[in-house]
């Protein structure tokens, strides 16, 4: 019974003694040694589990000055004990905390609490935050009208820690919330509520709020930072996949808060399109509205349909596309797969709203309408993930379909001049063929894919960049599409109609394209046939290495071992088949031309 | 396309030290068509051109340029270099969707409350309005008017530049016919609203005719 009483620890003794001594000190002029003793003894007591005794010392009326000045130093050990969640000590520790929150200086408490948040190790971030959010809120509210910068500091510290938490990927992971991200996000929403309400009150009373209102600015920073981390990282699940989603709620609330503090979502969306440059304080504006955060916001609105009911349904889809191009450009210029995924989704969703053939040519004068396709080509040709490459191509074609005829023309011309990738060029040339085909249909004629503009475009298509020395295999995609296009035109556009002008241009095409192609083809075939023969002979003789490898393969600066003669034969054979393919179309074209030259029988 | 450049130096000025070779070269390079520059051997780095071209040649080229009017943009075919170094607009542009007159307007307006009949918005000016949008069956798909009058005091009307293609065409055209203070009912055919695609996000089905009650509160 009296065992507990008899085992009062030394630390508790020290604490009681010190406190008694200091009760008589006037004007709170305590010596530094007093602070140290209080902190050391108090901490030890708490760590040893004597929290009940510490509590009674701290709540004693006579000790209030001491507690007010020194109490906050106990926050460290206190929080550690609270996180341990021992039944024995928990209620007392909580009571100590509450008392300190009431009595100590808010500024000092803030420092102490944020220190605990910052120092939390990765395993206990979520626990620490969920424990300390209410205390932090209490302290901040005690600061009254001077709270803004402290609120900002707290939010920034909290978000930095939250963004260290792993982001759930599947719906199951979000439900399980093993690392606590969802819990923290929900708790953060509760945390900011009173501050948002305060701003709403200001708006209510004055019918408006100054853009520079400090608290408003801190809340804006919080929203912008949240959009960047964690929201840009998160893949939100729709209601069918996950009915209750804390992350979806978090995203929704962030957008609503933005609206509540006076930021119009349409204005945010169109910031990069409508802003004027070189406005005083311009750089500050840039910092206040980071593009990455706005990109996330746009994705939330248009792909995840978050808070879409607070976004006005009156804007023209072309304008919305124009605004979103800025964000699509940003997302597609990154290499992380989830950024690319979001960029492609946003692009697709923005394009789908626009009618076919409706985007005017002046849009192509805007930087983003040129840089986004360039980024898209990089994704289509170089992204390691096949689903992204495929999706990239799909969106690429979708974007082409939305341009009007003149814009398509200008776009194709630009792409042919700048892409330097045979696959992409081939794809563009196929599109050109489709446009010519469409233009030849009754009622569709236009100046771009018929008439005077077509021929300059064709000159870009029907050319061999290195003349007869052009590597036919490397440029296969492009060559096949060009030959197919030419064949198509010669068959479809009868000589006596000549709507496309191809027949009058033919002699030039023969000289500049078909003849060098024929020469190159013959040369390549002869060369590869010779190589094939010698490789077969070498194999017969049993030579280990073929004399001159037709090709060597280097991957990541390491040359792969030379191919076996069998493999080499296969490669050479395959090349020859390819040449046959080119040959077949070329021969057909030559046939059609010859038929024209023959007199009518 | 900029207006044709003007002569800024007289012959005397050109011949004198007042106009250095490099300045003259720069002007010609900036103003003349590519083919003109090629013919007069004035393409390339200004330093190099300055080394190879005599002042008399430059003066002659300058005069010829104005005689022949072969300025940039007067040639039909843009050369490859031009595209590669294409001056892509960094300054955001207000891109107007070309509105060709295709027949009768695809909206009707009935005035519910008269405006001041004096302040009509012009293209490019900022207008502010309260609105409610409904489908033909009466479903309200969008509004910016809060539920209570008190809350309306705390909200802001929607602001945007009218006549610039930022909103659906029915709005652009409709608002230009309204004066400050006017409340009108705009019935907009789908072609001047969201057309075949509709706006599923906002519960607007394809080919939907939209009805808006709009109050024009302010003009710029």
pLDDT, tens digit, for every residue of A362-411? Answer: 999 999 999 999 999 999 999 999 999 999 999 999 999 999 999 999 99
The overall average pLDDT reported for chain A is 90
Range list of β-strands (E), B73-120? 107-113
Q: Are strands B158-161 and B140-143 parallel, antiparallel or unpaired?
A: unpaired
pLDDT surpasses 90 at A461 = yes
Report chain B residues whose CB lies below 8 A from the CB of A351.
Answer: none
Q: Would you call B67 an interface residue with chain A, using a CB distance cutoff of 8 Å?
A: no
Report chain B residues whose CB lies below 8 A from the CB of A355.
Answer: 195-197
Residues in chain A: 601
Alpha-carbon distance of B124 to B163, in angstroms, equals: 6
Q: How far is CA A439 from the centre of its chain?
A: 39
CA-nearest of B79, B220, B82 to B163 is: B220
Nearest-neighbour CA in chain B from A57: distance (Å): 50
Q: Would you call B100 an interface residue with chain A, using a CB distance cutoff of 8 Å?
A: no
pLDDT surpasses 90 at A299 = yes
Nearest-neighbour CA in chain A from B151: distance (Å): 8
Which part of chain B has CATH 1.10.720.80? 11-68
Say what the pLDDT of residue A6 is: 43
Residues A244-257 have a mean pLDDT of 96
Range list of β-strands (E), chain B? 107-113, 126-135, 140-143, 158-161, 183-188, 210-219
Residues A73-92 have a mean pLDDT of 91
Phi-psi region of A180 (alpha: psi -120 to 50; beta: other; left: phi over 0): left
Alpha-carbon distance of A181 to A125, in angstroms, equals: 9
pLDDT surpasses 50 at A533 = yes
- Which residue is it, tokens 């009254």? A144
pTM for this one?
Answer: 0.81
Contacts for A492 with CB less than 8 Å, ≥ 6 apart: A437, A440
Q: Would you call B160 an interface residue with chain A, using a CB distance cutoff of 8 Å?
A: yes
> Residue A303 — very low, low, confident or very high, per pLDDT cuts 50/70/90?
very high
Say what the pLDDT of residue A356 is: 93
Q: Would you call A370 an interface residue with chain B, using a CB distance cutoff of 8 Å?
A: yes
Nearest CB among A274, A302, A362 relative to B92 is that of A274
Q: In chain A, whose CA is at the least distance from the CA of B155?
A: A207
Higher-pLDDT residue of A127 and A287 is A127
The dihedral built from the CA positions of residue A585, A589, A592 and A598, taken in this order, carries a sign that is negative
Residues A264-274 have a mean pLDDT of 89
Which residues of B are marked as active site? Answer: 131, 141-142, 168, 194, 212
Q: Would you call B87 an interface residue with chain A, using a CB distance cutoff of 8 Å?
A: no
CA-nearest of A502, A492, A472 to A578 is: A472
> Residue A179 — very low, low, confident or very high, per pLDDT cuts 50/70/90?
very high
| Terminal Cα-to-Cα distance of chain A (whole angstroms) | 127
Residues A282-295 have a mean pLDDT of 83
Residue A559, helix vs strand vs coil: strand
**B214 φ, ψ (degrees, to nearest 5):** -125, 135
The dihedral built from the CA positions of residue B162, B164, B166 and B168, taken in this order, carries a sign that is positive
Say what the pLDDT of residue B102 is: 66
Q: Is the CB of residue A187 less than 8 Å from the CB of residue A133?
A: yes
Mutate to test the interface with A, among B78, B79, B88 (most CBs of A within 10 A): B88
How many A-B residue pairs are in contact by the CB < 8 A criterion? 97
C-alpha distances in Å from residue A116, one per residue of A79, A226, A229, A601, B2: 8, 21, 21, 97, 63
CA-nearest of A408, A365, A372 to A392 is: A372
pLDDT surpasses 50 at A11 = yes
A277–B91: do the CB atoms touch at under 8 Å?
yes
**Residues in chain B with pLDDT values less than 70:** 1-4, 74-102, 154
Nearest CB among A272, A355, A366 relative to B197 is that of A355
Q: In chain A, whose CA is at the least distance from the CA of B214?
A: A314
A317–B197: do the CB atoms touch at under 8 Å?
yes
Residues A85-100 have a mean pLDDT of 91
- Which residue is it, tokens 């290495």? A545
Q: What percent of chain A has pLDDT over 70?
A: 94
Residues A496-525 have a mean pLDDT of 92
Nearest-neighbour CA in chain A from B188: distance (Å): 12
Higher-pLDDT residue of A309 and B186 is B186
Report chain A residues whose CB lies below 8 A from the CB of B199.
Answer: 313, 317, 353
Q: Are strands B183-188 and B210-219 parallel, antiparallel or unpaired?
A: antiparallel
User: Per residue in B80-130, pLDDT tens?
Assistant: 443 434 334 444 445 544 455 567 889 999 999 999 999 999 999 999 999
Q: Would you call A580 an interface residue with chain B, using a CB distance cutoff of 8 Å?
A: no
A319–B167: do the CB atoms touch at under 8 Å?
yes
Say what the pLDDT of residue A584 is: 95
Residues A9-17 have a mean pLDDT of 86
What tokens were used for B17? 């030290």
pLDDT surpasses 70 at A448 = yes
A315–B166: do the CB atoms touch at under 8 Å?
yes
pLDDT surpasses 90 at A516 = yes
Nearest CB among B165, B197, B201 relative to A305 is that of B201
Tell me the Cα Rg of chain B.
28
Q: Would you call A273 an interface residue with chain B, using a CB distance cutoff of 8 Å?
A: yes
What tokens were used for A265? 């979502």
Q: Would you call B158 an interface residue with chain A, using a CB distance cutoff of 8 Å?
A: yes
Nearest-neighbour CA in chain B from A539: distance (Å): 50
The overall average pLDDT reported for chain B is 83
Residues in chain B: 220
Which part of chain B has CATH 3.10.50.40? 107-219
Say what the pLDDT of residue A277 is: 52
Nearest-neighbour CA in chain B from A188: distance (Å): 26
Domain boundaries B11-68, corresponding CATH code: 1.10.720.80
Residue B121, helix vs strand vs coil: coil
A353–B160: do the CB atoms touch at under 8 Å?
no
Report chain B residues whose CB lies below 8 A from the CB of A313.
Answer: 133, 141-142, 199, 201-202, 204
Report chain B residues whose CB lies below 8 A from the CB of A370.
Answer: 86, 88
**ipTM beyond cut 0.85:** no
Q: Is the CB of residue A224 less than 8 Å from the CB of residue A163?
A: no
Q: Using alpha carbons only, what angle is made at residue A268 by residues A266 and A272, rounded to the nearest 5 degrees?
A: 110
pLDDT surpasses 90 at A141 = yes
Alpha-carbon distance of A310 to A267, in angstroms, equals: 13
Contacts for A52 with CB less than 8 Å, ≥ 6 apart: A89, A92
Q: Is the CB of residue A316 less than 8 Å from the CB of residue B168?
A: yes
A414–B83: do the CB atoms touch at under 8 Å?
yes
Q: In chain B, whose CA is at the least distance from the CA of A364?
A: B88
| CATH class for the region spanning B107-219 | alpha beta
Contacts for B135 with CB less than 8 Å, ≥ 6 apart: B141, B204, B205, B208, B209, B210, B211
Upper half-sphere CA count for residue A353 (Cβ side, 13 Å): 26
Q: How far is CA A430 from the centre of its chain?
A: 31
Nearest CB among A355, A413, A417 relative to B195 is that of A355
Q: Is the CB of residue A9 less than 8 Å from the CB of residue A45?
A: yes
Alpha-carbon distance of A458 to A215, in angstroms, equals: 61
User: Per residue in A541-596, pLDDT tens?
Assistant: 765 554 455 566 677 777 777 777 788 889 899 999 999 999 999 999 999 998 87
Alpha-carbon distance of B186 to B184, in angstroms, equals: 6
Mutate to test the interface with A, among B97, B99, B207 (most CBs of A within 10 A): B97
Q: How far is CA A259 from the centre of its chain?
A: 23
What tokens were used for A250? 């978090």
Q: Is the CB of residue A83 less than 8 Å from the CB of residue A131?
A: yes
A275–B171: do the CB atoms touch at under 8 Å?
no
Q: Is the CB of residue A328 less than 8 Å from the CB of residue A372?
A: yes
Contacts for A134 with CB less than 8 Å, ≥ 6 apart: A191
Residues A442-471 have a mean pLDDT of 91
Residues A173-181 have a mean pLDDT of 95
Nearest-neighbour CA in chain B from A196: distance (Å): 15
The dihedral built from the CA positions of residue A460, A466, A467 and A471, taken in this order, carries a sign that is negative
Residues A515-526 have a mean pLDDT of 94
Nearest CB among B80, B95, B212 relative to A362 is that of B95
Residues A198-210 have a mean pLDDT of 86
Please name the residues between 371 and 430 in chain A that touch chain B, using a CB distance below 8 Å. Answer: 413-414, 417-418
Alpha-carbon distance of B161 to B165, in angstroms, equals: 9
Nearest-neighbour CA in chain B from A125: distance (Å): 37
| Terminal Cα-to-Cα distance of chain B (whole angstroms) | 30
Residue B32, helix vs strand vs coil: strand
Contacts for A346 with CB less than 8 Å, ≥ 6 apart: A295, A298, A299, A302, A303, A324, A327, A328, A331
**A13 φ, ψ (degrees, to nearest 5):** -60, -50
């Amino acid at each position: 019974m009296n065992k507990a009483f008899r085992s009062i620890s030394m630390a508790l003794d020290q604490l009681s003694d010190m406190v008694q001594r200091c009760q008589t000190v006037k004007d709170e002029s305590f010596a530094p040694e007093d602070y140290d003793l209080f902190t050391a003894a108090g901490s030890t007591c708490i760590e040893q589990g004597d929290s009940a005794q510490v509590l009674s010392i701290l709540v004693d009326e006579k000790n209030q000055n001491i507690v007010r000045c020194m109490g906050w130093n106990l926050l460290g050990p206190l929080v550690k004990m609270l996180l341990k969640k021992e039944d024995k000590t928990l209620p007392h520790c909580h009571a100590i905390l509450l008392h300190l929150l009431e009595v100590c200086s808010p500024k000092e408490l803030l420092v102490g609490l944020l220190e605990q948040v910052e120092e939390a190790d990765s395993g206990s971030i979520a626990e620490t935050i969920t424990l300390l959010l209410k205390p932090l809120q209490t302290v901040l509210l005690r600061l009254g009208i001077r709270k803004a910068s402290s609120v900002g500091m707290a939010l920034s510290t909290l978000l930095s820690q939250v963004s260290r938490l792993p982001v759930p990927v599947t719906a199951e992971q979000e439900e399980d919330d093993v690392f606590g991200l969802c819990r923290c996000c929900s708790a953060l929403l509760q945390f900011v509520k009173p501050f948002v309400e305060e701003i709403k009150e200001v708006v209510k009373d004055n019918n408006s709020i100054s853009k520079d209102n400090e608290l408003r600015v801190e809340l804006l920073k919080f929203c912008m930072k949240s959009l960047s981390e964690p929201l840009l990282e998160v893949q939100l699940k729709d209601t069918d996949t996950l009915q209750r989603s804390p992350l979806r709620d978090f995203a929704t609330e962030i957008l609503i808060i933005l609206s509540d503090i006076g930021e119009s979502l349409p204005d945010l969306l169109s910031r990069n399109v409508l802003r004027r440059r070189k406005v005083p304080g311009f750089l500050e504006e840039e910092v206040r509205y980071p593009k990455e955060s706005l990109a996330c916001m746009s994705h939330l609105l248009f792909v995840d349909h978050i808070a879409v009911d607070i976004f006005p349904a009156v804007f023209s889809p072309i304008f919305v596309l124009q605004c979103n191009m800025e964000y699509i450009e940003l997302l597609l210029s990154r290499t992380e797969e989830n950024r690319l995924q979001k960029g492609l989704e946003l692009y697709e969703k923005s394009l789908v709203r626009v009618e076919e053939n409706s985007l005017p040519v002046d849009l192509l004068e805007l930087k983003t309408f040129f840089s986004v396709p360039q980024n898209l080509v990089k994704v289509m040709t170089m992204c390691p993930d096949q689903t992204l490459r495929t999706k990239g191509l799909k969106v690429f074609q979708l974007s082409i379909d939305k341009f009007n005829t003149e814009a398509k023309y200008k776009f194709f011309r630009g792409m042919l001049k700048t892409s330097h990738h045979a696959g992409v060029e081939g794809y563009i040339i196929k599109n050109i063929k489709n446009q010519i085909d469409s233009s030849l249909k009754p009622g569709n004629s236009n100046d771009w894919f018929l008439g005077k503009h077509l021929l300059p475009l064709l000159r870009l298509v029907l050319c061999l960049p290195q003349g007869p020395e052009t590597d036919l295999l490397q440029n296969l995609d492009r060559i096949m599409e060009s030959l197919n296009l030419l064949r198509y035109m010669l068959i479809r556009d009868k000589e006596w109609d000549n709507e496309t002008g191809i027949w009058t241009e033919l002699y030039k095409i023969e000289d500049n394209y078909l003849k060098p192609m024929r020469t190159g083809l013959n040369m390549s075939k002869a060369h590869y046939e010779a190589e094939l023969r010698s490789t077969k002979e070498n194999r017969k003789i049993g030579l280990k290495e073929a004399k001159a490898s037709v090709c060597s393969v280097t991957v990541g600066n390491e040359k792969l071992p030379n191919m076996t003669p069998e493999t080499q034969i296969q490669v050479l054979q395959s090349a020859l088949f390819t040449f046959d393919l080119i040959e077949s179309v070329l021969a057909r074209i030559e046939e059609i031309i010859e038929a024209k030259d023959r007199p009518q029988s | 396309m900029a207006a044709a450049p003007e002569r800024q130096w007289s012959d005397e000025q050109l011949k004198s030290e007042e106009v250095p070779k490099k300045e003259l070269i720069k002007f010609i390079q900036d103003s003349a068509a590519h083919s003109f520059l090629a013919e007069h051997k004035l393409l390339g780095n200004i330093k190099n051109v300055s080394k190879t071209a005599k002042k008399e040649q430059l003066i002659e080229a300058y005069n010829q340029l104005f005689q022949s009017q072969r300025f940039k943009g007067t040639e039909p075919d843009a050369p490859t270099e031009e595209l590669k170094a294409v001056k892509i607009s960094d300054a955001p542009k207000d891109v107007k969707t070309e509105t060709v007159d295709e027949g009768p307007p695809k909206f009707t307006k009935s005035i519910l409350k008269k405006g001041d009949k004096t302040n009509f918005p012009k293209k490019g000016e900022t207008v502010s309005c309260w609105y409610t949008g409904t489908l033909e069956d009466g479903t309200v798909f969008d509004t910016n008017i809060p539920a209570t009058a008190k809350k309306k005091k705390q909200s802001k009307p929607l602001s945007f530049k009218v006549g610039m293609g930022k909103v659906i065409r029915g709005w652009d055209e409709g608002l230009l016919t309204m004066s400050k203070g006017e409340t009108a009912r705009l019935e907009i055919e789908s072609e001047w609203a969201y057309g075949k695609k509709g706006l599923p996000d906002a519960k607007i089905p394809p080919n939907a005719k939209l009805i808006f009650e709009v109050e024009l509160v302010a003009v710029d």
